[in-house]
């Protein structure tokens, strides 16, 4: 169903083996995709080590998504080495630790700017870079990663909830903008998973417990489940779907009390 033979993809947001983006790299590479992986400075060694385990050796490039120059350099290299692009996975997000533990009303102007820039604006910048390379292939698929905190209040998620609301609006506007070029834009909304980013959220472990107790499937999800769902949205099997948010949270979002 999700065949990636002959396809090329750019994966942004691998920090270590627990990263959701890494599960998506594995899900697509194991089905034949040739990948470029980017890393944020301090994660270079991790990403280089992980990349050795993929079936086709990926291109590994630095990219701080708050830098337009680094983003431009990534797309130059991808064009040189891969020729074009069939899919893009955006899995970068950041908020300062203070912003994820202090009362929401204490959110600083700089903390707000940083969270929205790295976690939401970066999808627009990456989509703009990817679009010409996808047009060369007759279209493409872009997927980002979001969380239910965009719509509902979760303790300490704070400014990241606002960033995810902006990110999901970006998905809809980009889908409308790029749809005529046969470029689709969707999000996967994952349930809580213990990753480096998640551990920065005060009281995160108790959120995992609430999902286990209340989600229809009475459990949490893991990165492979999110990876498979994202691979579906990145593949031609989902060619009629754009501007959407696919929930992969063991059904938690349907519960009332
Ligand atoms: P992670 O820490 O493994 O990944 C976050 C990534 O963002 C890291 O690779 C980090 O390097 C990158 N990043 C941060 N600032 C960056 C910058 N300036 N430039 C480039 N990259 C930068 O954690 P994860 O949980 O796999 O997060 C991936 C995505 O999934 C995020 O958007 C996160 O909000 C989302 N998500 C996570 C959960 C969860 O519970 N873990 C749930 C729903 C959605």
Q: How far apart are CA 118 and CA 94, in angstroms?
A: 6
How would residue 2 be classed by pLDDT, with cut points 50, 70 and 90?
Answer: low
* 197 Cα–ligand 1 center, Å: 6
Does pTM top 0.85 for this prediction?
A: yes
**Tens of pLDDT, residues 174-197:** 999 999 999 999 999 999 999 999
Q: Is the CB of 93 under 6 A from ligand 1?
A: yes
Q: Ligand 1, atom 12: nearest CA belongs to which residue? A: 92
Residue 147 is among the residues annotated as catalytic for this protein = yes
pLDDT average, residue stretch 54-69? 96
Q: From the alpha carbon of 92, which atom of ligand 1 is closest?
A: 7
- Residue 93: name the closest of 202, 201, 230 by CA: 201
């Amino acid at each position: 169903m999700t065949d990636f033979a002959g396809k090329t993809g750019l994966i942004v947001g691998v920090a270590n083996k627990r990263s959701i983006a890494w599960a998506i790299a594995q899900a697509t590479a194991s089905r034949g995709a040739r990948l470029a992986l980017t890393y944020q400075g301090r994660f270079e060694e991790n990403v280089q080590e992980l990349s050795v385990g993929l079936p086709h050796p990926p291109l590994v490039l630095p990219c701080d998504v708050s830098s337009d120059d680094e983003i431009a350099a990534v797309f130059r290299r991808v064009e040189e080495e891969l020729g074009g692009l069939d899919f893009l996975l955006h899995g970068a997000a950041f908020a300062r630790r203070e912003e994820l533990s202090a009362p929401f009303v204490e959110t600083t102007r700089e903390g707000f700017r940083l969270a929205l820039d790295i976690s939401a604006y970066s999808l627009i910048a990456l989509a703009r870079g990817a679009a010409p390379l996808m047009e060369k292939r007759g279209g493409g698929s872009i997927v980002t990663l979001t969380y239910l905190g965009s719509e509902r209040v979760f303790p300490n998620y704070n400014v990241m909830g606002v960033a995810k609301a902006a990110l999901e609006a970006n998905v809809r506007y980009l889908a409308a903008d790029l749809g005529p070029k046969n470029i689709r834009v969707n999000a996967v909304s994952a349930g809580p998973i213990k990753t480096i980013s998640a551990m920065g959220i005060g009281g995160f472990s108790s959120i995992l417990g609430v999902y286990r107790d209340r989600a229809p499937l009475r459990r949490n999800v893991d990165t492979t489940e999110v990876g498979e769902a994202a691979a579906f949205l990145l593949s031609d099997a989902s060619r009629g779907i754009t501007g959407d948010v696919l929930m992969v949270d063991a059904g938690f979002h349907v519960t009332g009390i």
